[in-house]
Amino acid sequence: MAFTPGSAVSPSADIELALACRGLSGTDVMSKSDPMCVTYVQPFGQNKWVEFHRTETVKNNQDPNFVSKVLISYRFEEKQPLLFEVYDTDSKDKDLSAHDFLGTITIPLGQLVANKRNKLQLTDRDGKLKSSYLVITAEELGMDRDEVTLEMSGFKLDKKDFFGKSDPFLEIFKLTDTGNYTLVYKTDVIKDTLTPRWKKFTIPVRTFCNGDYERDLKIICFDWNSSGDHSLIGEFHTTLKGLSNPNATFKCINGKKKEKKKDYKDSGEIRVDYIKIQSTYTFLDYVQGGTEIFCTVAVDFTASNGSPSKPSSLHFINNASMNSYEQAMWSVVSIIEDYDTDKQFPVLGFGAKIPPNGQVSHEFFVNMNPENPHCFGVRGVLDAYRNCINQVQLYGPTNFAPVINHVAKIAQNNRDGSGYFILLILTDGVITDMPDTIQAIITASSLPVSIIIVGIGNAEFDAMEELDADKGGLKMNGVKAARDIVQFVAFNSYHNLDPSVANLHLAKDVLAEVPKQFMDYMKINGIVPKRRASQTTTPEIEDLKIQ
């Protein structure tokens, strides 16, 4: 992704979709089909389908492997639905109505990348299943994701200052394709020494040498001067491969001194004290390696929401439309369910009196079934919520700590990278257990947990901004959060938008930080992605030999 100062861009990954079909029904009387696949996308915030890609036509083939790939940018926080249509082409006419329709399938991009290999049964335009399949293999586009960590030192460098020793630093340049050298790294300045040891630094290999381990590198050692007119100590040429040699040591040569002095040897040495080249990973590496994303929903059932029987209530149920709680649940869970293989979501409630005795609870299951608290899919989550409204009495206070600790307890037993847990808290008011909530967040910050808080209604949510520690980490009793795990969004920020568009923007904003929080946890704990077993043991996919 290009670096453009003064701009903003969401993190994304470039995905390649390889397409194939199996068992296409023939429409040609005298021969097999001549299939082609068309891909459509929905631009963000729009409900219309726009053609995005067409494959080539494969002649006389019921089981085509298409050479033309779909290249698309993937964003975790967006739904990104895709529509695929397969046609039997009868001519070179660009108008699709001139060709025979063979089948279609609609699927979110997130589901494709989560499963990596997807064998999808096609349907007709009325949704009736056909006996043919579209096979889609999703791969993150290859690029050099290695990074190099270097620590370098100088030995017996020339003394350049009249009243003291040198103040040396290094500048590292790479040779470009145009024959010029461009600066890629500048070390810190070590004052008054001829044996400096510069700070260890890490830089992407693609930045350091364009991924070419044999590309010429020019390393110059200067004596720093406050005027900015730095004095040359010496320089040398090498490559990343050369820097990687055991005990790599390089003579620092000052060209002018070498010309003037016949007995000139060098102006000191530069040594590589530490070098490590390692791969970096992406969010998709973990998801495709089998890390599952789990989501728990926690709903505020405090009395400040208003009596559910009144239309003014934030919990008022209207069969014709969703209330704000339902819209928020739909927006977030409908995206996360693409990454959860069993699509089972526990839904917690807090701040209500619950049956059978009317006891106040800040941690109860909304489906009222402790033995099986999970709801299937986003529709199951909404059904459980609607059924719960008439079974509880809204009460108070607004305590977050119990539901945070509930999820943290589960995450505590899944610290190996096999699962990552998102807690979606929907609330209308001010937190009444702030110290306990901060402590719970600090504890959860060392676990595979992200917390999303959506403020419902028009209350003041200043305290929520404190929990969303973008300006500085949470701290209590001298203990600081291991990482930032909270994202807060006020739902009424989107009230001027069309509901369908508002849902898209809400999901985009609340989920945008999750991949970074996810990666921070994996990196801090040294967890590398695993290879999913199905990547090597799915014969029904492997035998397709997709090109």
Task: Report pLDDT digits (tens) over 393-447.
Answer: 999 999 999 999 999 999 999 999 999 999 999 999 789 999 999 999 999 999 9
Tell whether 163 and 240 lie within a shared domain.
Answer: yes
Does residue 535 lie in a domain region? no
For residue 542, what pLDDT is reported? 32
CATH of the domain at 270: 2.60.40.150
Tell whether 242 and 130 lie within a shared domain.
Answer: no
Tell whether 38 and 162 lie within a shared domain.
Answer: no
Range of the domain at 169: 146-279
- pLDDT at 546 > cutoff 50: no
Tell whether 411 and 481 lie within a shared domain.
Answer: yes
Residue with the larger pLDDT of the pair 151 and 2: 151
End-to-end Cα separation, the chain, in angstroms: 26
CATH of the domain at 296: 3.40.50.410
Helix, strand or coil, per DSSP, at residue 242 = helix
Of 215, 249, 279, which residue constitutes the final position of a domain? Answer: 279
For residue 538, what pLDDT is reported? 30
Buried b / exposed e along 276-309 (16+ C-beta atoms within 10 A): eeeeebebbbbbbbbbbbbbbbbbbbbebbbebe
Tell whether 275 and 304 lie within a shared domain.
Answer: no
Q: Give residues with Cβ within 8 angstroms of 243, minimum separation 6.
A: 150, 217, 272, 275
Task: Compute how many other C-beta atoms are within 10 angstroms of the C-beta atom of residue 462.
Answer: 8
Tell whether 158 and 71 lie within a shared domain.
Answer: no
What percent of the chain stands above pLDDT 90?
61
Phi-psi region of 60 (alpha: psi -120 to 50; beta: other; left: phi over 0): left
Q: How many domains does the chain have?
A: 3
Task: Report pLDDT digits (tens) over 491-536.
Answer: 888 777 777 777 778 888 888 889 999 999 998 999 999 864 444 3
Of 113, 143, 173, which residue constitutes the final position of a domain? Answer: 143
CB 354 within 8 A of CB 361: yes
- pLDDT at 306 > cutoff 50: yes
Average pLDDT over residues 6-31: 71
Which pLDDT band holds residue 302 (cuts at 50, 70, 90)? very high
Does residue 542 lie in a domain region? no
Tell whether 328 and 444 lie within a shared domain.
Answer: yes
Tell whether 196 and 335 lie within a shared domain.
Answer: no
Q: Give residues with Cβ within 8 angstroms of 178, minimum separation 6.
A: none
Q: Which amino acid is at 524?
A: I
Does residue 326 lie in a domain region? yes
Which pLDDT band holds residue 257 (cuts at 50, 70, 90)? very high
Does residue 384 lie in a domain region? yes
Tell whether 35 and 102 lie within a shared domain.
Answer: yes
Tell whether 298 and 235 lie within a shared domain.
Answer: no
For residue 418, what pLDDT is reported? 94
Of 239, 254, 279, which residue constitutes the final position of a domain? Answer: 279
Task: Report pLDDT digits (tens) over 212-245.
Answer: 999 999 999 999 998 888 999 999 999 999 999 9
Does residue 544 lie in a domain region? no
Tell whether 100 and 130 lie within a shared domain.
Answer: yes
- pLDDT at 483 > cutoff 70: yes
Does residue 335 lie in a domain region? yes
Burial class (CB in 10 A: 0-12, 13-18, 19+), 355: exposed
Residue with the larger pLDDT of the pair 26 and 349: 349
Mean pLDDT (the chain) is 88
Tell whether 155 and 103 lie within a shared domain.
Answer: no
Q: Which amino acid is at 403?
A: V
Average pLDDT over residues 43-48: 83
For residue 271, what pLDDT is reported? 97
Q: Which residue has the tokens 């206070």?
A: 397
| Cis previous bond, 397, omega within 30 | yes
